[in-house]
Amino acid sequence: MAAETHPGTPEPNHARRFTALWVISSLIATPLVIFLLGPSLPPGNGSEQASGHVTDNTVLLAMATPVLLLVVIYLIYASIFFRQPKGGVLEGPAVRGDSRVQTAWVVITSVLVLSLAAYGTVRLLADNGAGSGSGPKPLTVPKGPKLPVQVIAQQWAFTYRYPTYGGVETTHLELPDNEMVELHVTSIDVIHSFWAYKLGVKADANPGVDNIAFVKPTHEQSFEVRCSELCGIWHGYMFDKGHVVSPAAFETWIHEQQTKFAPATKVLPPYSKTYSPEPTRRAE
Amino acid sequence: MGGFPGCLWRHRLASSGEQVEWGAQLSTLAKKVLGVGSAVVVLGVLIGLYVASWATSQPNTIVASAAPPPSGGTQLTLETVAAIGPKYEPSHPDWVSYLVRKDNKWIHSTIYSVPANSVVHVTLYQYDGDSGLRNPFLSQVQGTVGETETVDGKTINSIPPEEASHTFVIPQLGVFVPLPGVPEEAKNQCEFAPCEGAAHRTITFSFRTGKKGRYRWQCFVPCAAGYIDGFGGPMQTLGYMDGFINVV
């Protein structure tokens, strides 16, 4: 790297100047990212899991900020101080490699990536899957009582079954506030994915698979449920509105559903972790 | 200096006869690349236009007619057939389908227009046999006026799931109507549309439309014969077993 020099003008120490610029920018930007941008990062604070995602996103962004600044500041610095003079085609000096730079690059990036991997693993385990589908046998299960709710996906709608309330099935998802919910996500046809963005929950819905995810809503709210796996022509319309209500309101609602859907409940198969509907004559 | 690499190379290397010759060769090559590139772009645009035309083509919108007094609201008269037949769809004569009646003619469309905040009365002639519901929960009538439907004059709030032939469901409006099939033993079964005079079930129900919007509707019975899970072909093609309700 050689900047154009003028007779009598000493070449500045670019490495020192650039490092100073980068360190100062990082020291200013990183706290701003953590304290100003962090709280407004997605997916919000609809549940303990969603709040955890906000924390994780903040950590990731805070670690990425100095890296981003390193690249951006270098680009700007180089384009200002290492510009090619007008009217000439000059080749820069051959770069032969620098073991110090190479070593630093490998070590720093390795430390960054491995520490993020360790952080992610710890967070996943500590938060019981962090709202993601953890398969039929999750590695960690939250302690205490849990409300089991089965999410049944099909082309192109979700329905919800509450095994502890007589196995009633409903067209909308209603959850009690401040209670741990154990979602059992499955499909009765093709692959889908259950995504309650505001609650920080996302779990694949695969036929024949009981995909368990845990979520604990932290306040009363409405939230949207979407399918996030391309599943056919009406995939884009496979959405629904859910609600988190007070425990008392939930009890009232679920008993209303039990009464309303009594005729359907009578003909439903017994509650099961997965369903294998009989092939229909047409589909054979 | 031109923008094309060949021109750039020729400019920079124009200091010896040998290099000029090489530059001239590159320039010819550049012309060829430019020609092929242009052809590829034109072809891509044409393919894109064809795909866009195919993807955006859809059946005509059928406006619901005024319902006869004293019921008020609007009337939709529909029928379901096991196969649309060559008269309506030569390219897919064996596909299961809905049809809609307009001006005393059956029209192959599944896009209907109805007024906002009104009651829509639906009469549906069901000419198809039963296939059975994959999710028995959908055998219960929901979201209709009175939460019921009538089947051959009898008011009911659910049907046996295995007797379902199709459903008429508008998920966003909460309307779920299971449609029982024609019994297998019935005589004079309809092979393909038009089906007048053949064995059928007559189903009626009404629903309220609410605010303006475009709401999709679909059948939930896996009734697409010969397709994986019974949900391919006519279940994934606008105009057969799904469509839109335009609330205007």
Confidence of residue B23 (pLDDT cuts 50, 70, 90): low
**Over residues B165-185, mean pLDDT:** 94
Which helix (H) or strand (E) element contains residue A257?
helix A247-260
DSSP B229: G
CA–CA gap between residue A256 and residue A9 (Å, rounded)? 85
Lowest-pLDDT range of A258-262, B18-22, B65-69, B133-137? B18-22
B191 in the same domain as B81 = yes
Contact B137 A169 (CB under 8 A): yes
Q: For residue B237, what is the nearest residue in chain A, using CA coordinates?
A: A233
Strand-pair partners of B81: B97
Q: Which of A157, A261, A269 sits opposite B171 (nearest CB)?
A: A157
Alpha-helical regions (H) of chain B: 5-12, 17-56, 85-88
B79 in the same domain as B52 = no
Q: For residue A152, what is the nearest residue in chain B, using CA coordinates?
A: B135
pLDDT at B70 over 80: no
**Percent with pLDDT over 70 in chain A:** 94
DSSP A35: I
Domain boundary among B36, B56, B76: B56
Residue with tokens 């900020």: A65
Neighbour count for residue A241 (Cβ, 10 Å): 11
The HSE-up count of residue A199 (CA atoms within 13 Å, CB side) is 36
- Count interface pairs A-B at CB distance under 8 A: 90
B68 in the same domain as B50 = no
E-state strands within B111-198: 111-114, 119-126, 149-151, 154-156, 164-170, 175-180
Cis preceding linkage at B160, omega within 30: no
**Amino acid type, A242:** G
pTM: 0.83
**Over residues B124-136, mean pLDDT:** 92
Contacts of A58 (CB under 8 A, 6+ apart): A33, A34, A37, A38, A41
Instruction: Give me chain A's average pLDDT, please.
Output: 91
Higher confidence at residue A191 or residue A8?
A: A191
B185 in the same domain as B115 = yes
B70 in the same domain as B47 = no
Q: What are phi and psi of A233, to 5 degrees?
A: -60, -35
CA–CA gap between residue A48 and residue B72 (Å, rounded)? 51
∠ CA A216-A220-A226 to the nearest 5 degrees? Answer: 70
Q: Which of B12, B220, B229 sits opposite A283 (nearest CB)?
A: B229
Report pLDDT for B24: 58
B78 in the same domain as B200 = yes
B142 in the same domain as B32 = no
Strand-pair partners of A223: A242
Instruction: Answer whether A143's CB lies under 8 Å from A180's CB.
Output: no
Q: Which two tokens stand for residue A229?
A: 């796996």
Q: Which two tokens stand for residue A99?
A: 């073991």
DSSP A36: I
Length of chain A: 284
Residue with tokens 């034109």: B42
Which residues of chain B lie closer than 8 angstroms to A155, CB-CB?
229, 231, 235
To probe the interface with A, which of B15, B135, B223 has the most A CB atoms within 10 Å?
Answer: B135
Which residues of chain A lie closer than 8 angstroms to B223, CB-CB?
280, 282
CA–CA gap between residue B12 and residue B1 (Å, rounded)? 10
Report pLDDT for A88: 72
Q: For residue A169, what is the nearest residue in chain B, using CA coordinates?
A: B137
Q: What are phi and psi of B122, to 5 degrees?
A: -115, 130
Q: Which of A282, A275, A281 is nearest to A188 (CA)?
A: A275
Which residues of chain B lie closer than 8 angstroms to A282, CB-CB?
96, 131, 222-225, 230
Contact B227 A283 (CB under 8 A): yes
Q: Which two tokens stand for residue A104?
A: 């630093």
pLDDT at B19 over 60: no
CA–CA gap between residue B186 and residue A14 (Å, rounded)? 91
Q: For residue B175, what is the nearest residue in chain A, using CA coordinates?
A: A171
B84 in the same domain as B139 = yes
Which residues of chain B lie closer than 8 angstroms to A87, CB-CB?
none
Domain count, chain B: 2
pLDDT at B3 over 50: no
Report pLDDT for A7: 56
Residues of B with CB under 8 A from a CB of A: 12, 96, 131-132, 134-140, 142, 157-158, 160-161, 169, 171-172, 174, 176, 216, 218, 220-225, 227-231, 235-238, 242
Q: Residue B147 belongs to what domain range?
A: 61-247
Look up the CATH number of the domain holding residue B154. 2.60.40.420
Which helix (H) or strand (E) element contains residue A211?
strand A211-215
B218 in the same domain as B111 = yes
Which residues of chain B lie closer than 8 angstroms to A89, CB-CB?
12
ipTM above 0.90, yes or no: no
CA–CA gap between residue A44 and residue A222 (Å, rounded)? 13
Interface check for A101 against chain B (CB to CB < 8 A): the answer is no
Neighbour count for residue B118 (Cβ, 10 Å): 16
B172 in the same domain as B74 = yes
Contact A232 B231 (CB under 8 A): yes
Query: Which whole-number Å values give the CA distances from A25 to A30, A68, A71, in the listed order?
Result: 8, 11, 12
Report pLDDT for A6: 56
**Over residues B203-207, mean pLDDT:** 96
pLDDT at B99 over 80: yes
Q: Which of A152, A263, A282 sits opposite B140 (nearest CB)?
A: A263
Domain boundary among B13, B37, B56: B56
End-to-end CA distance of chain A: 70
Confidence of residue B71 (pLDDT cuts 50, 70, 90): confident
Report pLDDT for B26: 67
Q: What are phi and psi of A183, to 5 degrees?
A: -85, 130
Q: Let me know if A43 is exposed, middle or buried by CB neighbors in 10 A (0-12, 13-18, 19+).
A: buried
B132 in the same domain as B84 = yes
Which residues of chain A lie closer than 8 angstroms to B176, CB-CB?
171
Q: Which of B136, B220, B223 sits opposite A268 (nearest CB)?
A: B136
Which residues of chain B lie closer than 8 angstroms to A268, CB-CB?
136-137
CA–CA gap between residue B207 and residue A167 (Å, rounded)? 28
Residue A4 φ/ψ region, left for φ over 0, alpha for ψ in the -120 to 50 degree band, beta for the rest: beta
Interface check for A42 against chain B (CB to CB < 8 A): the answer is no
CA–CA gap between residue A270 and residue B62 (Å, rounded)? 42
Q: What are phi and psi of B20, to 5 degrees?
A: -60, -45
B180 in the same domain as B69 = yes
Q: What is the pLDDT of residues B31-55, one digit of tens each?
A: 889 999 999 999 999 999 999 988 7
Q: What is the pLDDT of residues A229-263, one digit of tens each?
A: 999 999 999 999 999 999 999 999 999 999 999 99
Which residues of chain A lie closer than 8 angstroms to B229, CB-CB?
155, 189-190, 283
Which helix (H) or strand (E) element contains residue A76?
helix A48-81
